[in-house]
Amino acid sequence: MKKTYYIFLLASLLLIGCSTDSNNTGGGETPAPSITKNVTIFFLNDVHGQLDNFSKVKHIVDLEKETKNVIVTSSGDIFSGNPAVDNHPEKGSPMIDIMNRVGFDVSVLGNHEYDYGETILTERVNQASFDWVCANVDMSNSTITQPPAFKTITVDNVKITFLGLVETNGKEDGTIPLTHPWRVQNLVFEKPEDVIAQYANVKNDENSDLVIALTHLGYQSNSGTITDSQIASQFPFFDVIIGGHSHQVINNTVNGIPIYQAGSYLNNLGKIELEIKDKSIQSINYQLINLNTYPNSDSELKAIIDDYNSLPYLYEVVGDSHRYHDRPEVGCFYTDALRGAMNVDITFQNTGGVRSDLNQGDITAREIFEISPFNNGTVIYDMTVLDIKNFLSGSGSGFYYSGVQINQVGNSIEITDLNGNLLDDNTVLTLGTNDYIPAVYDNYFPTNGDIQTLTAAETLIDYLVNTDGDVDYPNCSRYFRYQ
């Protein structure tokens, strides 16, 4: 009897065991229940050398790290715009030092990261304790360490992949970012739209919770170049797009993909709070923090920033501005100063190279470096009036100018001297300009320009110091763009 009972019991246990196994996926253990994960992503874009508010950024980030998983990112253009950074003896190093101290994790290489040239960018990349990403640049023929296309960052149990992209609209007949062409000669860029599809499966390949496009492309464009909104429409495998380049405040959703920008010049800090489950966003909360009104800062970092900003030579008075001057009025001063200092007949300055207004009162060296921050060189050419007309009509761009009067009559361009006399097409003029213009529009300039020793900003300072230093251009606008 006992034997029969034990046989029955064993059979029952086996039956229960088989029944339990048949309900398991794949015949193995019951899958662990999915869990909800949380992370906060802070981001900046288009800082352009501004340092002051980083002490506030550090206070905000450190406070969040006390209770949350945190990742800190940059969408590019950290350089070019503050003389304390751009004219430091080690160009750009104050910015990298401050970002290291804040605790940045990853940054895309924006177009202005290339402004200092290959050697200095190599130093700054090596100085950074954070990662750089860019999927559409090949640096194998340069001294710069090749950045990966993407970086996967793990914080606690959260795993997020950031793919970097930079714009390539710097030259009509080339594929480079908006930077000085002579400074990226050893680098090879591809259009972003030609590489994005290669990373359609990066989320699965990295086993990431999310994949984020960390871009420096701008939000929207009518020129046919790809931007963040087009990426969301054409390549919808990103969970979030964090962008830069167009200096906008963006909080939009396109094709179900959230897209963000935080303005520019370190006025704001973007904060994205994410709740993630099963590799998808369950909830998202976005906040744009106004750093100018945020009341707290990290005192230790503030002291370091104050030291960087206090370079004595930046505060040397070099001239006097009789009134407030807006950008077109600064363009008049800029081109007149170039013409006077370079002793030429005509000068041009691209509008994008005039980066600041000029306040009334003492003019300091710092203000001039803020107006002209790119350390562009200067060069003189002998060109005929016809050559200059071809440049103006063929470039399609607008320029401030000095030394002549330029008008469009129908489809033709007329150039007269300052007395109103029409200049014949065969007349040869000496033309002075910053060297960015002939580098971008090289098809219209001779190859044998006379390269000067001073940068454009140094030329402006030299002009002020060696004249009476007065700047007074009420209601002045000398600008031409061929229509």
Please report whether residue 14 resides in a domain: no
pLDDT for 140: 97
Both structure tokens of 314 = 């930046």
> Of the candidates 256, 274, 309, which is a domain's last residue?
309
Q: How far is it, in rounded angstroms, from Cα 356 to Cα 327?
A: 7
288 and 348 share one domain: no
16 part of a folded domain: no
**What is the per-residue pLDDT for 459?**
98
Q: What contacts 235, CB < 8 A, 6 or more positions away? A: 196, 197, 200
Q: Side chain identity at 17, as an amino acid letter?
A: G
d(CA 396, CA 126): 39
101 and 239 in one domain?
yes
Q: 116 with 237, same domain? A: yes
Looking at the structure, tell me whether residues 139 and 276 fall in a common domain. yes
Residue 3 belongs to a domain: no
Q: Which domain holds residue 46?
A: 36-309
Q: Are residues 367 and 401 in the same domain?
A: yes
Considering the domain architecture, whether residues 265 and 322 belong to the same structural domain is answered as: no
Is residue 27, in this structure, part of any structural domain at all? no
CB 242 within 8 A of CB 73: yes
Query: Is residue 203 assigned to a domain?
Result: yes
Return per-residue pLDDT of the chain as tens, 483 residues: 434 443 333 344 333 343 333 333 344 555 557 899 999 999 999 999 999 999 999 999 999 999 999 999 999 999 999 999 999 999 999 999 999 999 999 999 999 999 999 999 999 999 999 999 999 999 999 999 999 999 999 999 999 999 999 999 999 899 999 999 999 999 999 999 999 999 999 999 999 999 999 999 999 987 778 999 999 999 999 999 999 999 999 999 999 999 999 999 999 999 999 999 999 999 999 999 999 999 999 999 999 999 999 989 999 999 999 999 999 999 999 999 999 999 999 999 999 999 999 999 999 999 999 999 999 999 999 999 999 999 999 999 999 999 999 999 999 999 999 999 999 999 999 999 999 999 999 999 999 999 999 999 999 999 999 999 999 999 999 999 999
Boundary (domain end) residue, out of 262, 292, 309: 309
- Per the structure, the count of domains in the chain is 2
CATH number where 341 lies: 3.90.780.10
Tell me, what CATH number does 213's domain have?
Answer: 3.60.21.10
pLDDT confidence of residue 361: 98
Question: Is there a domain that residue 420 lies in?
Answer: yes
User: Does residue 29 form part of some domain?
Assistant: no
Same domain membership, residue 280 and residue 178: yes
> Are 302 and 323 found together in one domain?
no
Q: Are residues 82 and 158 in the same domain?
A: yes
Among 279, 309, 339, the domain-final residue is 309
**Do 337 and 288 share a structural domain?**
no
> 406 and 433, same structural domain?
yes
Query: Residue 462: in which H helix or E strand, if any?
Result: helix 456-465
Q: What are phi and psi of 61, to 5 degrees?
A: -65, -45
What pLDDT does residue 20 have? 37
Which pLDDT score is estimated for 222?
76
Q: At what angle do helices 299-309 and 54-65 cross, to 10 degrees?
A: 160
Tokens of 18: 């088989």
Residue partners of 363: CB distance under 8 A and separation at least 6: 317, 318, 319, 320, 321, 464, 469, 471
163 assigned to some structural domain: yes
Same structural domain, 253 and 346: no
Measured over the CA atoms of residue 430, residue 478, residue 349 and residue 452, the dihedral's sign is positive
